[in-house]
């Protein structure tokens, strides 16, 4: 597994990540119609000279009930279809979790999550939250209607009413 600043990725590697994301999520209308955050980091595994899995990370100061937290947003965890079911998704998420706590010194991880993956992330120590989540889009603030999960191994965040992402979603 290798860790890259997203802005310094080689063009061909960046194109591979974009292609895998498009194949996976390109047909979902909300994905196509939303302005997403640019990632700061990409964790990538390569197998047979191709990208076998990656996850992007967005660093952001968010507000939870008006208090600021250093957060890491998990964006586009994708295992190349050929390599699924072999533990790669779990491996790269465990590395990402260690990276966000130990290298980035983030207090929490935040995941805007599809319903069908809640059980996958629960096994990795993420939990669902039920407070209101909002994000910016052009000049307006919108409510995130799907699931949100937190990685908070040090139990910093108590139950809350409102989480503001302070920018576009990821």
Ligand X SMILES: CC(C)(COP(=O)(O)OP(=O)(O)OC[C@H]1O[C@@H](n2cnc3c(N)ncnc32)[C@H](O)[C@@H]1OP(=O)(O)O)[C@@H](O)C(=O)NCCC(=O)NCCS
Question: Is the CB of 67 or the CB of 90 nearer to ligand X?
Answer: 90
| Residue 72 binding ligand X, by CB under 6 A | no
CB 77 within 8 A of CB 134: no
Question: Is the CB of 8 or the CB of 119 nearer to ligand X?
Answer: 119
- Judged by DSSP in three states, 92 sits in helix
Tokens of 66: 């008006």
| Residue 85 binding ligand X, by CB under 6 A | yes
- Judged by DSSP in three states, 146 sits in coil
Torsions phi, psi for 136 (to 5 deg): -95, 150
Work out which of 77, 133, 157, 163 binds ligand X, going by CB under 6 A. Answer: 77
Question: Is the CB of 33 or the CB of 138 nearer to ligand X?
Answer: 33
Which residues, 6+ apart, have CB-to-CB distance to 19 below 8 Å? Answer: none
* Binding characters for ligand X, 87-126, by CB under 6 A (x = yes): xxxx----------------------xx-xx-xx--x---
């Amino acid at each position: 597994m290798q860790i890259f600043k997203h802005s310094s990725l080689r063009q061909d590697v960046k194109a591979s990540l974009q292609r895998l994301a498009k194949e996976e999520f390109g047909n979902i209308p909300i994905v196509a119609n939303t302005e997403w955050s640019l990632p700061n980091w990409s964790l990538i595994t390569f197998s047979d000279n191709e990208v076998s899995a990656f996850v992007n990370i967005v660093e952001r100061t968010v507000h939870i009930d008006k208090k600021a937290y250093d957060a890491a947003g998990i964006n586009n965890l994708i295992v190349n279809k050929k390599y699924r079911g072999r533990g790669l998704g779990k491996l790269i998420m465990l590395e990402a979790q260690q990276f966000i706590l130990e290298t980035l010194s983030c207090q929490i991880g935040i995941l805007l999550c599809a319903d069908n993956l809640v059980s996958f992330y629960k096994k990795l120590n993420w939990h669902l939250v039920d407070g209101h989540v909002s994000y910016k889009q052009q000049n307006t603030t919108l409510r995130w209607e799907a699931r949100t999960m937190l990685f908070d191994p040090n139990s910093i965040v108590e139950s809350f009413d409102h989480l503001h992402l302070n920018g576009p979603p990821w």
